[in-house]
């Protein structure tokens, strides 16, 4: 049976929110790999070298899985996402080539965002994962687990190769402004192409889903700013038990 068009509980707004996120992952993860690999020759610690190899493998696999999801979205009539990704690919490759330190700083900022998303998806799976269709739930659960497993690798590469606090903060500011604007634009595009943009009842429910008392983005944003604290490290939030439970 084909994956339904509205695979999150039969709801368009919520489905397209996750579709918008997923559509950025293939190019985002290729960018992470390029940024970390550029600095890998500077790493002396064999443990961190092994973690980098595992990170590259996981992110490569994520990219391929989300490429398959992109193929599904294009087949459903959302080819504009593929065109947007072609532009994003050129931008990220240029950034790694000409500003590799900043590219790594952006990488660790986005890795923090994805780790926070992953934490909330897994810590309240009844709300965020169980409504997903059986075709999609394993993809998001598996991706969340692996994002949390390697959430500190790029960060440790940044620190080990001389990355500083000021650049780290500047990069997160850029990510907060531009990444969420990109998500919002893609979400609007998906709703528009699906002829769901003007459905007021969906918007009211969707805004509660994202920004209500227990909304996903409201929870995520509360945790994002911990990144700006001096001396921050991703494993200051110990997710080992959550990971162990998710793997059962």
Residues with Cβ < 8 Å from 83, sequence gap 6 or more? none
Residue 4 counted as domain residue: no
> Burial level of 150, CB count in 10 A (0-12/13-18/19+)?
buried
Residue 1 counted as domain residue: no
Residue 24 counted as domain residue: yes
Residue 21 counted as domain residue: yes
Q: What pLDDT is attached to residue 1? A: 55
Provide the domain count of the chain.
Answer: 1
Per residue in 77-88, pLDDT (tens digit) is: 999 999 999 999
The more confident residue out of 66 and 44 is 44
Q: What angle do CA 221, 222, 223 make, to 5 degrees?
A: 90
- Backbone dihedral angles phi then psi of residue 163, each to the nearest 5 degrees: -65, 140
Residues of the chain with pLDDT > 90: what percent? 82
Residue 3 counted as domain residue: no
Does this model's pTM top 0.85? My answer is yes
First-to-last C-alpha distance (Å) of the chain: 27
Q: What pLDDT is attached to residue 31? A: 95
How many whole angstroms separate alpha carbon 229 and alpha carbon 172? 12
Residue 103 predicted with pLDDT over 90: yes
Residue 209 counted as domain residue: yes
- Domain span at residue 48 reads 12-246
Residue 158 counted as domain residue: yes
Per residue in 171-226, pLDDT (tens digit) is: 999 999 999 999 999 999 999 999 999 888 899 999 999 999 889 999 999 899 89
Q: Nearest 10 degrees: CA dihedral of 111, 23, 11, 5?
A: -150
Residues of the chain with pLDDT > 70: what percent? 100
Average pLDDT over residues 95-110: 97
Residue 5 counted as domain residue: no
- Burial code of 218-243, b = ≥16 C-beta within 10 A, e = fewer? ebbeebbeebeeeebebeeeebeebb
Per residue in 6-59, pLDDT (tens digit) is: 999 999 999 999 999 999 998 999 999 999 999 999 999 999 999 999 999 888
Q: How many angstroms separate the Cα of 186 from the Cα of each of 22, 44, 138, 180, 223?
A: 10, 40, 23, 10, 23
**Per-residue tokens: 235:** 């494993």
């Amino acid at each position: 049976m084909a994956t339904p068009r509205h695979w999150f509980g039969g709801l368009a707004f919520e489905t397209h929110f996750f579709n918008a996120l997923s559509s950025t992952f293939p190019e985002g993860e290729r960018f992470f790999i390029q940024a970390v690999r550029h600095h890998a020759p500077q790493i002396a610690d064999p443990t961190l070298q092994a973690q980098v190899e595992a990170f590259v493998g996981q992110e490569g696999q994520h990219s391929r899985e989300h490429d398959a999801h992109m193929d599904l979205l294009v087949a459903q009539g959302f080819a504009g996402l593929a065109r947007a990704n072609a532009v994003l690919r050129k931008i990220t490759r240029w950034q790694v080539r000409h500003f590799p330190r900043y590219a790594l700083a952006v990488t660790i900022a986005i890795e923090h965002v994805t780790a926070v998303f992953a934490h909330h998806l897994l810590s309240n799976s009844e709300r965020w994962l169980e409504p997903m269709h059986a075709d999609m739930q394993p993809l998001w659960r598996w991706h969340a687990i692996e994002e949390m497993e390697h959430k500190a690798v790029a960060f440790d590469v940044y620190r080990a190769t001389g990355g500083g606090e000021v650049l780290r903060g500047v990069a997160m500011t850029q990510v907060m402004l531009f990444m969420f604007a990109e998500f919002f634009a893609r979400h609007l595009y998906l709703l528009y192409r699906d002829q769901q943009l003007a459905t007021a009842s969906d918007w009211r429910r969707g805004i509660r889903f994202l920004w209500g008392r227990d909304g996903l983005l409201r929870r995520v944003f509360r945790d994002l700013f911990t990144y700006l604290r001096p001396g921050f490290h991703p494993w200051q939030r110990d997710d080992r038990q959550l990971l162990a439970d998710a793997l059962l």
